[in-house]
Amino acid sequence: MSEPLLSVRDLKVHFRVRDRKAWPWTAAATLKAVDGVSFELRAGETLGIVGESGCGKSTLARACLNLIPATGGEVVWAGKTLRPDDHAAWLAARRDIQIIFQDPLASLNPRMTVARIIGEPLRVHRPELSDDEVHAKVAAVMAEVGLTPQQINRYPHEFSGGQCQRIGIARALVLEPKLIICDEPVSALDVSIRAQIVNLLQELQRRKGLALIFIAHDLAVVKHISDRVLVLYMGKAMELAESDALYARPGHPYTEALLSAIPIPDPRIERSKVLQLLSGDMPSPIDPPSGCVFRTRCPKAIAVCAQERPALRQLDAETAAACLLAAERADRT
For 213-233, the pLDDT digits (tens) are 999 988 888 988 999 999 999
Q: Give yes or no for residue 140 having a pLDDT over 90.
A: yes
Binning pLDDT at 50, 70 and 90, where does residue 193 land?
Answer: confident
d(CA 140, CA 158): 21
d(CA 236, CA 63): 14
Q: Give yes or no for residue 195 having a pLDDT over 90.
A: no
Q: Give yes or no for residue 94 having a pLDDT over 80.
A: yes
List CB contacts of 295: < 8 A, sequence separation 6 or more: 289, 301, 305, 306
- Local structure of 179: helix, strand or coil: strand
DSSP string, 190-258: -HHHHHHHHHHHHHHHHHHT-EEEEE-S-HHHHHHH-SEEEEEETTEEEEEEEHHHHHHS-SSHHHHHH
Binning pLDDT at 50, 70 and 90, where does residue 270 land?
Answer: low
- For the chain, domains (ranges, CATH) are 6-96+177-332 (3.40.50.300)
d(CA 134, CA 154): 17
Binning pLDDT at 50, 70 and 90, where does residue 206 land?
Answer: very high
Q: What is the mean pLDDT of residues 57-71?
A: 94
Q: Give yes or no for residue 178 having a pLDDT over 90.
A: yes
Binning pLDDT at 50, 70 and 90, where does residue 154 land?
Answer: very high
Provide the 8-state DSSP code for 158. G
Q: What is the mean pLDDT of residues 27-37?
A: 90
d(CA 299, CA 42): 35
Strand ranges in 117-196 using DSSP code E only, listed in sequence order: 179-183
**pLDDT at residue number 66:** 93
End-to-end CA distance of the chain: 27
**pLDDT at residue number 17:** 85
d(CA 138, CA 114): 9
**Average pLDDT of every residue of the chain:** 89
